[in-house]
């Protein structure tokens, strides 16, 4: 009744864009941060300002990646290379960590002001999975994962959480490497070929494919079904409730 292979015993869910309606919050924050930085740099150097595209640039360079990787990857595509700095750099610092902290402050402000809404279809699916005896984990690059789960009222639905904080502590590579998903499967006591990955980010479905999981479900919230398939999704749905309704 879950629309998954019979051998699946665990479900591994991305957070932003799969469980909660926070992917758009991240996209807006990335754009605000990068546009401010790029505009200042263009003015200082007398060059043209080319804004960050909140759809194409977000999908290609930052979605699903650890924050510093997103900063580094996008700027490299623009031919910009900044010092790494350190995690406690102030948000005004022109370093990889400084820009990452600037973006994080913007996200936290929006979450505080607007709150967090889960996707109702995803909550239904997680409940159905648990009722069927499957164990569930959240796998997110975000260091704010627990706060978002609590704000959305869904923290208690998951047996394991592998997020940006845990990844840093355990020295796990971020998506598109499969490390965080593999760690979640280990934490649930399952092998990759007994676990399903649910992702809306291109880097995330690449991680699922690289980890050789039983099935990688792409969640298409923004009309990128073909890209999700090309990057490794076995199945693409508009909402996780579609899996329940297909049975």
What are the structure tokens assigned to 236, written together? 């693409």
* Residue 59 annotated to the active site: no
Residue entry with tokens 């792409």: 218
What is the reported pLDDT for 245?
72
* Residue 163 annotated to the active site: no
Contacts with 215 (C-beta within 8 Å, 6 or more apart), sequence order: 4, 5, 8, 196, 197, 234, 235
What are the structure tokens assigned to 219, written together? 């969640």
Distance separating alpha carbons of residues 235 and 244, to the nearest angstrom: 14
Vertex 221: Cα angle to 226 and 117 (nearest 5): 160
Percentage of the chain with pLDDT > 90?
87
pLDDT tier at 64, thresholds 50, 70, 90: confident
Is the CB of residue 60 less than 8 Å from the CB of residue 31?
no
What is the reported pLDDT for 134?
98
What is the reported pLDDT for 99?
98
Q: Which of 16, 57, 63, 179 is catalytic?
A: 16
Count H helices, E strands: the chain? 11, 6
What is the reported pLDDT for 246?
58
pTM as predicted: 0.82
Higher-confidence residue: 186 or 25? 186
Quick: pLDDT tens for 118-149: 999 999 999 999 999 999 999 999 988 998 99
pLDDT tier at 1, thresholds 50, 70, 90: confident
């Amino acid at each position: 009744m879950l629309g998954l292979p019979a051998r699946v015993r665990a479900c591994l869910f991305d957070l932003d864009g799969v469980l909660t309606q926070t992917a758009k919050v991240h996209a807006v924050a990335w754009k605000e941060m990068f546009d401010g930085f790029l505009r200042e740099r263009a003015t200082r150097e007398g060059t043209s300002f080319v804004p960050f595209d909140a759809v194409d640039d977000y999908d290609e360079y930052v979605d699903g990646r650890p924050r510093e990787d997103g900063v580094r990857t996008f700027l490299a595509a623009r031919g910009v290379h900044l010092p790494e700095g350190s995690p406690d750099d102030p948000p005004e610092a022109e370093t990889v960590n400084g820009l990452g902290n600037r973006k994080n402050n913007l996200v936290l402000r929006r979450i505080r002001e607007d709150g967090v809404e889960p996707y109702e279809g995803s909550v239904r699916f997680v409940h159905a999975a648990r009722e069927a005896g499957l164990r569930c984990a959240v796998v997110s690059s975000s260091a704010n994962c627990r706060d978002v789960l609590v704000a959305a009222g869904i923290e208690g639905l998951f047996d394991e959480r592998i997020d940006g904080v845990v990844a840093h502590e355990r020295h796990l590579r971020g998506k598109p490497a499969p490390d965080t998903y593999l760690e979640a499967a280990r934490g649930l006591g399952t092998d990759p070929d007994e676990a399903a990955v649910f992702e809306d980010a291109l880097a995330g479905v690449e991680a699922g494919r690289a980890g050789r999981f039983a099935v990688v479900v792409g969640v298409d919230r923004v009309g990128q079904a073909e890209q999700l398939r090309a990057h490794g999704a076995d199945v693409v749905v508009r909402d996780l409730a579609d899996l329940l309704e297909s049975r």
